[in-house]
Chains A and B, each alone.
Chain A
Amino acid sequence: MSPDILDEAMEIWFGPQHVSAHGWATKLTLVGDYVVECDPNAGYFHRSAEKVLEFKNFRQGALVLERMCMLEAFLAEYPYVAAVEKIAEIEVPERAKIMRTIMMEMSRLHSIQFWWGQFNAELGFFTMALWPWVDREYSLDAFEELTGSRHTVSYSTPGGVKYDFTEKFMKQLHRAIDRFEDRLPKFRDMQMGSPTFRARTKDIGLYHYKQGLKWGLSGPPIKACGVPMDLRKDDPDPNLAYDMVDFEIPITENPEYPGSSDALDRMEQRFKEAEVAVDIIKQLLPQLPESGPIIDPKARAKANRLPEGEAYARVEGTRGVTSLWLKTLDKAQTAYRAKIRGPCIASYYALKDLVPGSKFADFIVIFGSLDPYPGWWDR
Chain B
Amino acid sequence: MSVLLQFDFWQWIQGIPQWIEGILYWIWGIVKWIIYAIWDFILWLWATIFNADNFFFLFRAVLFPGLIWVVLALIWAVWGTRKLWGRIQDRRGPFHQGKYGGLQLFADAIKLIAKETIIPDKAKRWMFRFLPGLLLVVVLLPFAFIPWDTVSAVNGGWAIADLSVSLVLVFAFLTAVPVVALLAGWVSGSKYTLIGGFRAANNQFAAEIPMIISTIGCAFLASSLSVFDISMAQTNVWFAVLLPINLATFLIAAIASVGIFPFDAPVADSEIIFGWRTEYTGIYFTLTYFAEFAEQMLYSALIVALFLGGPNGLPFLPGPVNFTIKFIVVFFFFVLVSSSFQRLRQDQIVKYCWKYLLPLSILNVIIIMLAIVYMPGLMLPLLGVG
Contacts and interface: CB of A to CB of B under 8 A. Distances in A.
A18 B273 contact: yes
A123 B343 contact: yes
Interface stretch (A89-97, A191-199, A270-278, A282-290): A191-199
A124 interface: yes
A66 B27 CA distance: 87
A206 interface: no
Contacts of B268: 124, 361
B342 A359 contact: no
Contact of B342 (A19, A120, A134): A120
Interface in B82-119: 85, 88-91
A64 interface: no
A194 B342 contact: yes
Contacts of A42: none
A19 B270 contact: yes
Contact of A196 (B191, B262, B271): B262
Contacts, number: 79
B138 interface: no
Contact of A130 (B89, B261, B274): B89
B345 interface: yes
Interface in B337-385: 339-348
A197 B269 CA distance: 17
Nearest to A195: B341
B346 A134 contact: no
Contacts of B271: 20, 360-361, 363-364
A374 to B, nearest CB: 16
B289 to A, nearest CB: 16
Contacts of A122: 270
Contacts of A196: 262, 341-344
A361 B344 CA distance: 9
A124 B342 contact: yes
Contacts of B346: 33, 361
A200 interface: yes
A130 B91 contact: yes
A121 interface: yes
Contacts of B341: 125, 194, 196
Q: What bracket does the count of chain B residues touching chain A fall in?
A: 20 to 34
B211 interface: no
A131 B90 contact: yes
B270 A124 contact: yes
A362 interface: yes
B195 interface: yes
Interface string A127-168: 110110010000000000000000000000000000000000
A125 B348 contact: no
B345 A124 contact: no
Interface residues of A, number: 29
A247 interface: no
A3 to B, nearest CB: 22
B339 A20 contact: no
Of B274, B340, B342, which is in contact with the most chain A CB atoms at under 10 Å from its CB? B342
A248 B269 CA distance: 39
Contact of B269 (A19, A360, A362): A19
Given A124-B270, A131-B89, A359 B345 contact: yes
B264 interface: yes
A35 to B, nearest CB: 12
Contacts of B195: 360
B343 A362 contact: no
Main secondary structure of the interface of A (DSSP, over half): helix
B265 interface: yes
Contacts of A19: 269-270, 273-274
Interface in B270-305: 270-271, 273-274
Contacts of A361: 265, 268, 271, 345-346
A213 interface: no
A123 B268 CA distance: 9
A200 B269 contact: no
Interface in A169-196: 194, 196
Interface string B110-133: 000000000000000000000000
Contacts of A12: 191-192
A123 B265 CA distance: 10
Nearest to B344: A196
A127 B340 contact: yes
A257 interface: no
B262 A20 contact: no
B261 A125 contact: yes
A126 B88 CA distance: 10
B270 to A, nearest CB: 4
A197 B342 contact: yes
Nearest to A11: B191
A264 B229 CA distance: 50
Interface in A104-129: 120-128
A10 interface: yes
Nearest to A14: B271
B339 A126 contact: yes
A123 B270 contact: yes
Given A19-B269, A196-B262, A360-B271, A127 B345 contact: no
B89 A364 contact: no
Interface string B240-265: 00000000000000000000011011
B342 A123 contact: yes
A134 B271 CA distance: 25
Interface of B: 85, 88-91, 191-192, 195, 261-262, 264-265, 268-271, 273-274, 339-348
5 contacts: A124-B262, A196-B341, A200-B344, A362-B345, A364-B270
Given A360-B271, A361-B271, 9 more contacts: A12-B192, A19-B274, A33-B346, A125-B343, A126-B89, A127-B339, A199-B348, A200-B343, A363-B271
